[in-house]
C-alpha cells in the first residue's frame, strides 16, 4: 500500500480504482461509482480504509462533472 500525496487519487487503492474505471465499458462506469459510494455510505460494520479511499476518488469524479449550469 502506498500513498504519495494528498489528492483523491494519490494512493495505490484509488489509482487502481481509476484504472478499473478506465478499463470498464463507458456504460458500466456510473454503476461502478455508485456501488463504491453506497458501500462507503452504508458499511456492514465499519468503513474499511480501502473502501474509504475508493469512495473519496469516486466522489472527486462526481464533483468534477460539468453540470451544464455555467
C-alpha cell at 57: 476518488
C-beta contacts of 45-52 below 8 A and 24+ residues apart: 49/13, 50/13
pLDDT at residue 61, rounded to an integer: 96
Computed on alpha carbons and rounded to an integer, the radius of gyration of the chain in Å comes to 13
Q: What is the pTM of this model?
A: 0.87
Q: Is 42 helix (H, G, I), strand (E, B) or coil?
A: coil
Q: Is 11 helix (H, G, I), strand (E, B) or coil?
A: strand
Please identify every stretch of the chain with a pLDDT value under 50, giving residue numbers as ranges. Answer: none
pLDDT at residue 15, rounded to an integer: 96
pLDDT at residue 2, rounded to an integer: 76
Amino acid at each position: 500500500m502506498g500513498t504519495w500525496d494528498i489528492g483523491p487519487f494519490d494512493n495505490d487503492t484509488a489509482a487502481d480504482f481509476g484504472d478499473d474505471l478506465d478499463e470498464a465499458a463507458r456504460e458500466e462506469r456510473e454503476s461502478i461509482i455508485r456501488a463504491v459510494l453506497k458501500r462507503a455510505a452504508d458499511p456492514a460494520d465499519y468503513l474499511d480504509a480501502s473502501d474509504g479511499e475508493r469512495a473519496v476518488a469516486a466522489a472527486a469524479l462526481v464533483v468534477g462533472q460539468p453540470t451544464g449550469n455555467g
